[in-house]
């Protein structure tokens, strides 16, 4: 069974109180996002208090999943570990050639 962390962040450039909900699996893969008008709606839209997006989560974790809402991603150990895995996976992918000044 995989743990999927859900959190929301201020939606810059949208209305006051709008947030972007994000689903991040413990394996480091980002699974879903959604623009919502506030945290409570984000919890619903991301599937914490509803069945929304559960098809996406089940496709990623056919063995089962557990959702966990994260109020403070910056201090949540599980979120931070998943984020490090996400960063490592991105680093492992081929990157464009970087030009350096001589």
**DSSP 8-state class, residue 29:** -
**Stretch (H or E) spanning 31:** strand 30-36
- pLDDT tens-place string over residues 24-66: 999 999 999 999 999 999 999 999 999 999 999 999 999 999 9
pLDDT at 92: 63
Residue spans per domain, the chain: 2-92
Q: What pTM value is reported for the model?
A: 0.87
Question: Quick one: which of 28, 90, 87, 85 has its CA closest to 60?
Answer: 28
Question: Quick one: which of 71, 85, 92, 74 has its CA closest to 19?
Answer: 71
pLDDT at 89: 80
Q: Is pLDDT of 99 > 50?
A: no
In this prediction, what percent of the chain has a pLDDT beyond 70?
Answer: 88
Encoded tokens for 30: 């980002």
pLDDT at 37: 96
Helix (H, G, I), strand (E, B) or coil at 89: helix
């Amino acid at each position: 069974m995989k743990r999927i962390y859900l959190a929301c962040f201020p939606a810059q450039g949208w209305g006051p109180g709008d947030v972007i909900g994000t689903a991040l699996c413990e394996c480091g893969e980002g699974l879903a996002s959604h623009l919502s008008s506030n945290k409570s709606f984000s919890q619903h839209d991301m599937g914490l208090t509803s069945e929304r997006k559960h098809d996406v989560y089940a496709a990623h974790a056919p063995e089962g999943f557990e959702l966990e809402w994260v109020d403070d991603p910056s201090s949540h150990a599980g979120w931070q570990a998943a984020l490090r895995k996400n960063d490592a996976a991105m680093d492992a992918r081929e990157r464009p050639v970087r030009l350096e000044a001589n």
